[in-house]
Amino acid sequence: MNDYHWTVDRLEAWEHWYDAWMALGRKHEDLAGEAAQAGRQVTAGEASYRAAIAYHFAVFCWVHDREAYDAGHRKRIACYARALPYLDPPGERVEVPLEDIRIPGYLRKPRGVARPAVVLLLSGLDSAKEEHATFEIFFLRRGIATLTLDGPGQGETWYQMKMRVDFEVTASAAIDYLLAREDVDGARVGICGVSLGGYLAPRCAAFEPRLRAVASCGGLHSLEERRLHEGLHLARWLHIWGASTDDELREKSRGATLAGAARNIAAPLLVVHGQQDTLIPPEDAYRTYEQARGPKRWVCYPEGNHVCNNIIYKYRPLVADFMAEHLG
């Protein structure tokens, strides 16, 4: 929290955001280097994690300057790679084959569980897989492994494949990959997404019947709706779809909706939303809940903001307990 205030409170304009967060990243990366040189590897790993998160927020929404975006992106990946062995429990970088590319992800397994079930974690519009270690721990403490992915249009995968209407191919490829491993149970896989991921997770469940449970946190119902592409949001939507104009974006995202698809969701569904969400109104997420035909639960916290990030102590245990119940 102090890092956040030191970095943001003194900013006077959005133009200063990137440089301020990059400076914070360098501060923690320097601390990591000093610790590594002194042989304090755990300390170095912890500092590398903080550096990775700072670099992540440097490029958060910073899609108008490709050179700067790429530089921050590379720093985020490199620092997180150095932090990964020192997370508790540690993580493993994996690559999931999808068509002619490989989707990068981080697999973390709970201690003391031979073949744990797995939750696939999907990011929001400006998020990436490096952001979710603090969410992963809620599943890991309940004996569930996590596989956090950069799907098409996200993080590292954006450089290989842009967002696509049939995003569900990501979940199918991940399950195929998990089934080939002996240290996790690929037959017990759930999926959880936040914000944009709160749309993508139900989308995957609507078309991938092997998913055993699905949680949507602060999710949208449709990516086609024009209000999502207005004002400051437009550049970010153009970015993930690899579109140059609003018309091209409209064409690429045609069919990216849960209208008519949500009724295919047969797996147990949990939809969590915040009544104070000014980005995605609760009634939008409720449409997904309403149309799903399987067992389902709707939770809307009166005080919750977008993705209920102001009350993570409520919504994250709820989601993790839901997954533990349905994945066994």
Distances (CA, A) of 241 to 157, 164, 197, 318: 12, 7, 15, 32
Rounded to whole angstroms, what are the CA distances from 153 to 65, 243, 299? 17, 11, 29
CA distance 196 to 280: 10
CA angle 120, 123, 125 (to 5 degrees): 155
Give the span between the Cα atoms of 209 and 230, in whole angstroms: 34
User: For a pLDDT cut of 70, what percent of the chain falls above it?
Assistant: 98
Residue 107 has what pLDDT? 98
Question: In 3D, which of 190, 156, 4 has the Cα closest to residue 80?
Answer: 156
Q: Do 307 and 274 meet the contact criterion of CB atoms below 8 Å apart? A: yes
Q: What is the mean pLDDT of residues 59-70?
A: 94
Q: Are 161 and 170 in contact (CB under 8 A)?
A: no
Average pLDDT estimate for 232-248: 91
pLDDT at 228 over 70: no
Residue 254: what pLDDT? 92
Mean pLDDT of 54-64: 95
Number of other CB atoms surrounding residue 96 within 10 Å: 22
Q: What's the pLDDT score for residue 231?
A: 72
Check: CB of residue 277 under 8 Å from CB of residue 216: no
Exposed e or buried b for every residue in 148-165, given b needs 16+ CB within 10 A?
A: bbbbbbbbbbbeebbbbb
Average pLDDT over residues 151-178: 97
DSSP string, 97-109: EETTEEEEEEEE-
**pLDDT the model gives residue 225:** 73
Reply yes or no: is the peptide bond before residue 116 cis, omega within 30 of 0: no
pLDDT of residue 210: 98
Confidence of residue 229 (pLDDT cuts 50, 70, 90): low
Is residue 274 classed as helix, strand or coil in its secondary structure?
Answer: strand
pLDDT score at 110: 98
Cross-sheet strand order for the sheet of 118-122: 91-98, 101-108, 145-149, 118-122, 189-194, 211-217, 269-274, 296-301
Q: pLDDT grade, residue 227 (50/70/90)?
A: low
Phi/psi of residue 235, each to 5°? -60, -35
> How far is the C-alpha of 186 from the C-alpha of 180, rounded, in Å?
8
pLDDT score of 226 more than 60? no
Largest Cα separation within the chain, whole Å, is: 59
List, for residues 274-323, the tens digit of each pLDDT value: 999 999 999 999 999 999 999 999 999 999 999 999 999 999 999 999 99
List of domains in the chain: 2-81 (1.20.1440), 89-327 (3.40.50.1820)
Residue 92: beta bridge partners?
107
Task: Give the number of other CB atoms < 10 A from CB of residue 135.
Answer: 19
CA-based nearest residue to 18, from 70, 60, 80: 60
In degrees, rounded to 5, the angle at the alpha carbon of residue 92 between the alpha carbons of residues 87 and 96 is 145
Rounded to the nearest 10°, the torsion over CA 203, 206, 209, 211 is: 40
Which band of pLDDT confidence, cut at 50, 70 and 90, is reported for residue 224?
A: confident
Residue 217 has pLDDT above 80, yes or no: yes
Alpha helix ranges (H) inside the chain? 2-8, 17-37, 41-59, 66-83, 133-140, 169-179, 196-207, 234-241, 246-252, 282-291, 312-327
**Lowest-pLDDT range of 62-71, 213-222, 223-232, 263-272:** 223-232
pLDDT of 126 > 60? The answer is yes
